[in-house]
Amino acid sequence: MLTLMTEPRWLDIKESAAWRGYLAMNAQLMSRLARQLQTESKVSEADFAVLVVLTDHADGRVRVFELGRSLAWEKSRLSHHLARMQKRGLVARSECPSDARGAFIEITTAGRAAIERAAPRHVEQVRDLFFDQLTPAQVDTLRDIAEQVLARMRESSPPCESE
Amino acid sequence: MLTLMTEPRWLDIKESAAWRGYLAMNAQLMSRLARQLQTESKVSEADFAVLVVLTDHADGRVRVFELGRSLAWEKSRLSHHLARMQKRGLVARSECPSDARGAFIEITTAGRAAIERAAPRHVEQVRDLFFDQLTPAQVDTLRDIAEQVLARMRESSPPCESE
DNA sequence: TAAGATTGACGGTTCAATCTTA
DNA sequence: TAAGATTGAACCGTCAATCTTA
């Protein structure tokens, strides 16, 4: 049969198993990590990610657009999230002297306390559920996979609204 | 220094790189797949997952709790989502004769049209961004990783509200 | 006009409470 | 009492529009 709509190359058995496994693992893993962070330390995964970037800077103070670049988040998401974190006292805002359009986000004492409380248990859970199940070779392969796929996405059309 | 609070085993360089890569790949990959499904076929990833389970059944008709088991979703999430899908005409409800507490969810003609429209492009994107970047050996390793981590999570305490 | 950032509306997800039938 | 399922409130993320300053 001749057709102009070419059939897509469907996934074969192995690919299909890998994809379903990946989706299931990811959903459950993220769900558990999020739940533990929330119940034990009252922070979400998103809160945690923001706090990690802030603590990576010596002065705990980062421009909003730089946070967005580090996290690869859309700016509206970041803006909404920072507003919520500010309301909960985890971060504070200050004006940027050199560019009046911009803003600095600073980690607060409460924010620092929150991540210092959350981090040890979080990394223990990542170990328990993830790295303790993997061989060193599997860890290397995973890093390679991530790099290759990320490289493809960088060369492919950018995610619509890059910044 | 002697302390009762044992230091957590932090991630080493390789683990850290693998974990950050995994998180970044996952976020961007899911974001792109979701965006394409939404803009081209007006369905979300969640819609797609539900429709896949329904079309896997010969009569396109599944009990709600069985859908929940297949998808590993919480029941309230499933209930909310099915309500939205019903409102949009993708699925329909019918009563269960053998158990009056339960309900059947059935795929509609519009639902079938939606997934038949979305699936080819979706699988092409999964190929393009993911499997075309991987060697067969990497695909095998990924499947192993997923199975090992899923096995650990099954033996670990269940996700609070299993059903 | 473009860059940095915010806002409001809307759909998605979780938690706790509830409802109905087994 | 427990199983199957729904509901309402609150939080999260995306889209499109907007605001202010460069």
Q: What are the pLDDT digits (tens) for B1-38?
A: 555 667 788 999 999 999 999 999 999 999 999 999 99
| Segment (H or E) for A64 | helix A64-71
A158 pLDDT higher than 80: no
- Rounded-to-integer distance, Cα B117 and Cα B128, Å: 18
Angle at A30 between CA B7 and CA A149, to 5 degrees: 105
B163 pLDDT higher than 50: no
Residue B157's pLDDT is 74
- Rounded-to-integer distance, Cα B66 and Cα B59, Å: 14
Are residues A130 and B149, on separate chains, in Cβ contact within 8 Å? yes
3-state secondary structure of A99: coil
Mutate one of B6, B145, B157, B162 to test the A interface: name it (highest A CB count within 10 A): B145
Output the six-digit token pair for A36: 């533990």
A4 pLDDT higher than 80: no
B95 pLDDT higher than 70: yes
Are residues A150 and B14, on separate chains, in Cβ contact within 8 Å? no
Whether nucleic acid strand C comes within 7 Å of the CB of A158, the answer is no
- Rounded-to-integer distance, Cα B108 and Cα A129, Å: 39
Per the DSSP assignment, residues forming a β-bridge with B95 are: B103
Q: What is the mean pLDDT of residues A61-82?
A: 97
Report pTM: 0.93
B159 pLDDT higher than 80: no
- Rounded-to-integer distance, Cα A72 and Cα B24, Å: 8
Nucleotides of C under 7 A from a protein CB: 3-9, 11-17, 20-22
- Distance in Å from D21's C1' to A145's CA comes to 42
* Low-confidence winner among A137-146, B3-12, B101-110 (lowest mean pLDDT): B3-12
3-state secondary structure of B105: strand
Residue A3's pLDDT is 54
Output the six-digit token pair for A127: 């170990």
First-residue to last-residue Cα distance in chain B: 46
A92-135 pLDDT per residue, tens: 999 999 999 999 999 999 999 999 999 999 999 999 999 999 99
Q: Is B120 on the interface with A (CB under 8 A)?
A: yes
Q: What is the mean pLDDT of residues A41-48?
A: 97
- Rounded-to-integer distance, Cα B104 and Cα B120, Å: 27
Q: Is A147 on the interface with B (CB under 8 A)?
A: yes
